[in-house]
Each structure stands twice: as C-alpha cells, then as structure tokens.
C-alpha cells in the first residue's frame, strides 16, 4: 500500500466516522427538541399567564375543526379552556383536533412542570364533557 493511498484511506475512514457521529447527534437533537428547548430557553415562550392572556384575546374565537373557544383561565396547577362544539361534529374527532392544537400551545409549559394539565371543557346541544391533556399526551 502506497503512502498516498494509506493517507487518503484514513481520511475517508475519519470522514465516515464524523458523518455517522453528526447523524447520531442530529437524531438525538430532533428526538429531544422540546426537552432541550425547555431547558435551554426556559422563558422563550413566556409564562403560563402570558400564554393565557394571548389566547384570551378576541374571545369567542373560531378554532380549527369548527369549535369555538369561549374562555381560557388558569386554575391552580392547570389551565382551563371552554369550547363550544358544533352539533354535527363527533366528539372523538373534535378531541383529536383540539388535542393537537392544545399540545402546540401548552407542550413547553407542561414539560417544564409549570402546569400539571390542560383541562378542556366542552358543550354542545345540552351535552357537557371534559378531557385533560398532560405532558405524556403532548409528546
């Protein structure tokens, strides 16, 4: 084996090792993105009260999926939202859409332990219900 081929062979091997290491690091960052954000930027999104205030403006407000957000308030270690669901909307389907949107807004606060749960109260055509989201459900 010549000196040149030995030198380039070692360089290629090192480049491959670095590429695998970089790929592994990127995968870890992607997987733990929210946890890293909660630790590295604890106040980047503001406090729970800031989020409550932001979501409380211009109520009542139509939400994706046809529900109407009527109220947002903090109650101790949870945030309580009140929604009116359209009568033709199946509750299970509305829950899936609301849960996805709620996790978007509340995931960092849940992960940091600032609140224990997001309680969503809903009503439609004389039917009332409630569901809760916690940090395990908002991954």
Is 97 or 45 the better-scoring residue by pLDDT? 97
User: Taking residues 97-105, what's their average pLDDT?
Assistant: 83
What is the structure's pLDDT at 79?
94
Tell me whether strands 78-84 and 117-124 are parallel, antiparallel or unpaired: parallel
| CATH code that applies to domain 48-133 | 3.30.300.250
Which uninterrupted H or E stretch holds 2? none
What is the structure's pLDDT at 104?
85
Q: How far is Cα 97 from Cα 110, in angstroms, rounded to an integer?
A: 19
Confidence of residue 95 (pLDDT cuts 50, 70, 90): confident
**Tokens standing for residue 8:** 């380039």
**Claim: this prediction has a pTM higher than 0.85:** no
What is the domain partition of the chain in residue ranges?
3-31, 48-133
What is the structure's pLDDT at 43?
45
Task: Give 51-79 pLDDT, tens digit per residue.
Answer: 888 888 889 998 877 889 999 999 989 99
């Amino acid at each position: 084996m010549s000196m040149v081929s030995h030198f380039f062979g070692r360089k290629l091997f090192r480049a491959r090792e670095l590429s695998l290491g970089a790929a592994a690091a990127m995968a870890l960052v992607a997987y733990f993105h929210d946890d890293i954000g909660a630790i590295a930027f604890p106040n980047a999104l503001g406090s729970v009260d800031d989020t409550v205030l932001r979501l409380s403006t211009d109520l009542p407000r139509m939400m994706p999926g046809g529900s109407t957000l009527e109220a947002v308030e903090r109650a101790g270690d949870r945030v309580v939202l009140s929604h009116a669901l359209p009568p033709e909307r199946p509750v299970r389907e509305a829950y899936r859409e609301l849960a996805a949107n709620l996790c978007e807004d509340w995931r960092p606060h849940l992960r940091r332990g600032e609140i224990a749960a997001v309680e969503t109260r809903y009503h439609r055509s004389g039917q009332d219900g409630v569901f809760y989201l916690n940090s395990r459900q908002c991954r």
